[in-house]
A and B are shown apart, each in its own frame.
Chain A
Amino acid sequence: MSRSDSPRLLDSFTAPKEVLDEFAEMAEEENVDPFAETAKTRQIAARQSDYHHRRFNRVAVDSADAFGAKEGEDVEGGYKDAMRLARLEQEEQRVQQAIEDKKRQEREEGKMKMDLDKTPPAAELEDVAKELAAAKELALAQQHEAAGSKRKRRWDVETNDENKDPNQRDSGEWSKEAIEASAPKKRRSRWDATPAEVSAETPKKSRWDQTPVAQDAPMTQIIMNTPGINHDDKHNRYLSDEELDALLPTSGYAIVTPPPGFAPAINPRKFMAPAVTEVGGFHIQESSDAAAVAAAAGLAPELPTEIPGVGNLAFFKPEDAQYFAKILKEEDETELTVDEMKERKIMRLLLKIKNGTPPVRKTALRQITDKAREFGAGPLFDKILPLLMERTLEDQERHLLVKVIDRVLYKLDDLVRPYVHKILVVIEPLLIDEDYYARVEGREIISNLSKAAGLAHMISTMRPDIDHADEYVRNTTARAFSVVASALGIPSLLPFLKAVCRSKKSWQARHTGIRIVQQIAIMMGSAVLPHLRNLIDCISHGLTDEQQKVRTMTALGLAALAEAAAPYGIESFDNVLKPLWLGIRLHRGKGLAAFLKAIGFIIPLMDPEYASYYTKEVTVILIREFQTSDEEMKKIVLKVVKQCAATEGVTPQYIKQDILPDFFKAFWVRRMALDRRNYRQVVETTVELAQKAGVSEIVGRVVNELKDESEPYRKMVMETITKVVATLGASDIDERLEVRLVDGIIYSFQEQTTEDQVMLDGFGTVVNALGIRVKPYLTQIVSTILWRLNNKSAKVRQQAADLTSRLAIVIKQCGEDQLLSKLGLVLFEQLGEEYPDTLGSIIAAVGAIANVVGMTQMNPPVKDLLPRMTPILRNRHEKVQEASINLIGRIADRGAEFVPAREWMRICFELLDLLKAHKKGIRRAAVNSFGYIAKSLGPQDVLSVLLTNLRVQERQSRVCSTVAIAIVAETCGPFTCIPAILNEYRTAELNVRTGCLKALSFVFEYVGPQSAYYCDSVVTMLEDALTDRDLVHRQTASTIVKHLALGVAGLGCEDSMLHLMNLVWPNCFETSPHVIGAVMDAVEAMRVTLGPGILLSYTLQGLFHPARKVREVYWRVYNALYLGASDALVPFYPDLGELSEGQNVYDRHALQAFI
C-alpha cells in the first residue's frame, strides 16, 4: 500500500465520462420508438404517389335508391342532381382554368413590357370572376328551384343543423357565404385575406381527411372534460383567458380590446368548446377517463390497449382516438337512445376488427356480419368509410376493413343502394393500387356491390363520374366499370357503352367509355371473344375522333382487345384495319405510338398472306421511327418489330433485306446497352428476328462488337448470342464465323471487369453448342482458365471454376484428357480456398471433372481426393456442403473401393451432421450417400451408426436417420436391417422406438413386394405397437401396416394381414387428425390386400348404428370403400329381401337366377 505521506491521487473512483454519457443516451433512447420509422412505410398513403393521393380530393354523394322510392315521387339526391353537380364542377374548373390562363398571359405580357412593378390589369380578371359568380348563382337558383333545399352532402360532415356549433357558419359548398367569400377572394393576393374567409373557404375542399364531427353529442363532452385541452392538440392550442389570468400577474397588464373588424379565426375542425364550470388548479381525472382523455389529447405517450367493452387490443394509434372517441370512455348506457347504442356497438366491433388480436377479430367480424341488416347500411358505412380514408391507414387495417365491407355487402344486399357512390369513392382507389392483392380485393368488392345494387343503379351512380373534370376520377371509374361489366356480363353493359363512346357532349365521356372497353379487355382476357365485334364496333369510330386523346385511347383499346383475343377474332377487326393503317401515316408522337401498338397486336392474328402485306405497309413507318429519340416510342417500335417478325407470313428474305440493315443501324449502338429496359427489349427483338433470319445472319452482324470497348455493350452482344445459339444451335455457323466468335468470346470473357452470369453463361452455351469444333481453341481456353484460377480476386477464381464445370463435358468430347487432368490437379491444389462461394465452385468443378473422366482415371486419384474432402464437410456454408456432398456421394457410388473403410466411417460420422442442413437437397444427398457407403462397406457399421443416432434430441436428425436406414435396407437387402431394427425396438426409450417404427415404415415403402418375406417376422412387433397406449405409436404402426399391406397385395399373406386388420380396426374412432389419417390409409390399403368383401363385412356392423358418431365413421369408411371398388362390392351386399315393405321390394332378383 502507499505510504502515508505520498500525495493522494483520487478521493473517489467514478466511471469514465463517456460511459456515463452512454447510459444517459440510452436512457433517452428508451423513449424512442424503434418502429416509428417502419410505421411510416407501412402506411399506405406514405408510399403512394401524388396521383394516388388525389383520392383524398374526391367528394362522395348520396346515391338515391330509385327502386326503393314510391311511384312518381322525386327521389332525393338522385341521378339528376348528381349530373347537375358534375356539370357544375366542370364549369367551375373551366372557368378557373380560364382565369389561370389569363393570369399567365398577363404575367408574360407584363414581363415583355419589363414593367415589373405595375400591377397586372385586374379588370379582365374581375370579369371572369364575375362570370364565375354568376354561373354559380345561376346554378344555385336552378338547384333551389329543382330540389328545394337539396345540396350536396358530405357524409362525414355534420348533417343535423340543430346540433351545429353556433360559431360555425353554414358550410354547405354553395351556401351564400361560401360563394360570397370565394368569389372576391380569387382576385386578391393570398396575403391580405383575413382568416375569416379561410374558414368559409375550407369546406370547399373534400374533407375526407377531416376528423368526422360528432353527430349528436358534442365530442368534447366525452373525451375532453378538462378545461384547457379542448382545442386541437396540445402544441397548437390557444391559451384560454382563464389560463392567461392564472399565468400573468394581476397588476401591470391590461387586456387590450381587439381592433374593430377583427374576426377571430375559426377552425372548422375544432370541437365545440365545453361549458367550462371549473376553473384553474390541478384537476385529478377519474381513472377510467384518464387514459382516454390523455390519448385523445395526445398528451400521454402510452396509448390505451384496453378499452371498456372492447377488451385488449393489439395496438391503438393516436388517430384511432378521433374515430372511436365515443367508446373510449365508460358512460351510462341507460341514458343513450337506441340509435346511439347501436352506433357504439358498431364502433366497438369495428375497433375490435381493426385493432384486435386474431381471435377477437374473428368473433367481431362474425358478429358484425350476422347483425348487418339489424344495424342497417347507414350507421355501418358512416363508420367504416371514414376509417378507410384515414391518411395513416396501414395495409393490414385496410385489408380488414375491406373485408368487413365485403361481408356486410353480402348481407345487406339491395339496402346498400344509397351508399353505392360513397363505397365506390373509397374502393375505386384500390383498383390502381400497386399491390396486387389490394387490386383483387377492390375488384371483389365492386363486383359484389354491382350484384347487390343492380346494373341500372350502378350506371346511374357512376355515370356522372365518367366525364368528371379530374382525370384520376375518370381513370378509376373506367376501371370500376370494367369490373361491373365482368360481374354482370358484357352484353348488359353494351348499350350503355355504345352510348357513352358516342357521347356528343364531351370528349371526356368518349375517352372514358373507350377506356372502359380497354379495361374490360385487360381484365377479362379471352372472355371478350363472344362480344369482340360489339366491343370493337363500340369504339371503332374513336380512331377518327377530333380529340387526339380519344384517338390514342381507341388505339390502346384495340391493342388490348387484340391481345385478349389472340390468336382468334381477326374478322372482328376488319372495320378498323383501314383507319389504323391510314392513321399511322397521319399521326406523330404519342398517337402514333398507340396506333403502332394496336397494329403490333393485330398482325399476329392475321392469316399469313395478309400479315405479310400489312407488315410491309407498316414497316416503312417503323423504319422511319427507328430514328426516334423518344424512349416510349423506341420500346413500342421494338415490340412491334418483334411481333411482326414472329408472324408466319413474314419471310426471312424480307427481314434480311428490309428490316435488318436499318434495325442494326438504329438499335445496335452502345447507348442502348445503358438503359436496362431498352437493353432487354433489343435483345428480345433480336432473338425473335434471329428465329427467322438464322443464326449466322444475326451472329455475323454482332460478333465483332464482342471486342467493343464498352462493357455493357459487350454484355448485350453476349446475351443475344447466348440466347440465339441456345435456341437455334451452332450448326449454321461457318468456319470463318466460328473463329471470330470464339475469339470474341475469349476476349470479352477476359476483359470483363464485373464478373457476372452473362459472360459465363455465354461462354458455356457457345462452347457446348460448338461441341467438338471447339477443339483447336481448347488449349487457349484452358490456359485462360488456369491463369484466372490463380487470380487474386476471389470472384475471378470462382468464375473460372464455374466455367470449368461447364466445359468439362466438351473437353472430354474433344479427347483432351491431359487438359482435364491438369485442370483437376490445379483445382485440387485450390481446395484450401478460404472464400466459401469460391470453394463451393471449385469443389463443383472437381466433381464435374470426376464425373466425365470416371473414378479410375481421375487425377488426382480418388484415394487422395477423399481424405482432403473430409475436413471440408465440416464447412457450414450451404454451397460448399452441397458441392462436397455431391462429390462424395458420387465417389461412394462409383469408386468406393479406392478408399479405405476407415475413411468412409469417418465420413459417415460427418454426414450425420449434414442431416441437420436446412436445404433439402443437402439432406437428400447425405441420406443417399449412406446408401452408397453401406453398399461398399457392408451395412453393419453404417447401420449401427444410424441406429445410435436415433437417440439424439433433434427430430430432423432422427427422421433423416430413419430414412437413411431405409435406404441402407433397400440397397443391402432388408434382411440385413430388419433384425437390427427389431432388436433396437426393444429399447425402453420412446424416441428410439418411434424411430424404429418410422424406419420400418420407410423400409416397407421402399422394398415393396419384397415385404412378403418379412411380414410374418414383424407381426409380433406390430401387435405390440398397435396396442400401445401412445397415439404416435399406433399412428406409425398404422403407416407400417399400410405400406406392408400394399406391398404384399396378392402375395398370399392374407392371414397375417387379417390379423393386423383386426388390430388396426378399433383405432377407427380416433379423433386426432394424424392418427385417423394413418388409420384410414391402413384400412384402404387393407381393401387392396384383403379384398372389398371382407372390408364391407367390417363396415356393415356400424352403418346403421344408433349412435351418430359411430355411423359417421363407418359411413366414411364405407364411402372410401365404395369409391375404391364399387363394382367389386356387388356380390357382397347383404340380401335385404326380408326388409321389403309395400311397394318397395328389396330383393335383388337378378342375382337369384341360376341355371
Chain B
Amino acid sequence: MSSELRYTANTQLEHLHARYTGTGHADIAKYDWVTHQHRDTLASIVSHPALASYLAIADGEAIGRVKFEMTERMLQPCGPPPRKDDD
C-alpha cells in the first residue's frame, strides 16, 4: 500500500507543482529563483493600484508609465542569465 501511495500522491504533487511558473525544485539556480521573485514583485505592483500610485509619487511619474515600466522590466528583471559553465 505504502509504495503505491509513495508513487502516486507525492510524485503527483510534485508534478502538479512543476506545471506552474514560479515554482522551484532542488536544483534551481540562484538566478532563476530571484528572477521569479522579481517578476512576482513587479506583477504585484502592477496589479495593486495603491502600490502603483505610491511608486508613481515616489518616482514622479504617471501611474500608467510606472505600470508600463514595471511590465517591461519583467522580461529580464535581474539582467541576462549568467553564462552556464558546463564543466
Contacts and interface: CB of A to CB of B under 8 A. Distances in A.
A1130 B13 contact: no
Given A1074-B5, A1155-B58, A1115 B25 contact: yes
Nearest to A1105: B26
B2 A1072 contact: yes
Contacts of B41: 1130, 1133, 1148, 1150-1151
Interface string A1112-1155: 10011011101100110110010010010111111010110111
B55 A1073 contact: no
A1122 B22 contact: yes
| Residue among B5, B26, B28 having the largest count of chain A Cβ atoms under 10 Å | B26
A203 interface: no
A1155 B34 CA distance: 26
B24 A1119 contact: yes
Contact size range, B: 35 or more
B82 to A, nearest CB: 6
B9 A1129 contact: no
Given A1103-B24, A1119-B23, A1119-B24, A1150 B79 contact: no
A1153 B55 contact: yes
B59 interface: yes
Contacts of B24: 1103, 1115, 1118-1119, 1122
Interface string B13-51: 110010010111110101101100110111111010000
Contact of A1108 (B6, B26, B31, B37): B26
Interface in A1098-1115: 1103-1104, 1108, 1111-1112, 1115
- For the residues of A in contact with B, the DSSP-based class is helix
A1103 B27 CA distance: 10
Given A1146-B34, A1148-B37, A1073 B23 contact: no
Contacts of B45: 1150
Contact of A1120 (B9, B17, B55, B58): B17
B68 interface: no
Interface string B65-87: 00000100000001110100000
Contacts of B70: 1150
A543 B76 CA distance: 65
Nearest to A1112: B26
A1141 B78 CA distance: 10
A1148 to B, nearest CB: 5
A950 B34 CA distance: 53
Interface residues of A, number: 37
Contacts of A1133: 37, 40-41
Contacts of A1093: none
Nearest to A1107: B26
Contacts of A1108: 26
B57 interface: yes
A1146 B78 contact: yes
B76 to A, nearest CB: 9
A1155 B57 contact: yes
B11 to A, nearest CB: 11
Contacts of A1115: 24-26, 28
Contacts of A1150: 41-42, 45, 55, 70
Contacts of B25: 1112, 1115
A1072, A1112, A1148 — which one has the most chain B CB atoms within 10 A of its CB?
A1148
A1073 B9 contact: yes
A1077 interface: yes
A1133 B78 CA distance: 15
A359 to B, nearest CB: 12
Contacts of A1141: 82
Given A1122-B23, A1150-B42, A1153-B58, A1142 B17 contact: no
Interface of B: 2, 5-6, 9-10, 13-14, 17, 20, 22-26, 28, 30-31, 33-34, 37-38, 40-45, 47, 54-55, 57-59, 70, 78-80, 82
29 contacts: A1071-B6, A1073-B5, A1073-B6, A1073-B9, A1074-B5, A1112-B25, A1115-B25, A1116-B13, A1119-B17, A1122-B22, A1122-B23, A1123-B20, A1126-B22, A1129-B40, A1130-B41, A1133-B40, A1142-B79, A1142-B82, A1143-B80, A1145-B78, A1145-B79, A1146-B78, A1148-B41, A1150-B41, A1150-B45, A1150-B55, A1150-B70, A1151-B41, A1153-B58
The 5 closest A-B CB pairs, nearest first, are A1073-B5, A1153-B58, A1111-B26, A1119-B17, A1143-B79
Given A1111-B26, A1120-B13, 18 more contacts: A1077-B5, A1077-B10, A1103-B24, A1112-B26, A1115-B24, A1115-B28, A1116-B14, A1116-B17, A1122-B23, A1127-B40, A1127-B44, A1133-B37, A1141-B82, A1144-B31, A1144-B79, A1148-B38, A1150-B70, A1153-B55
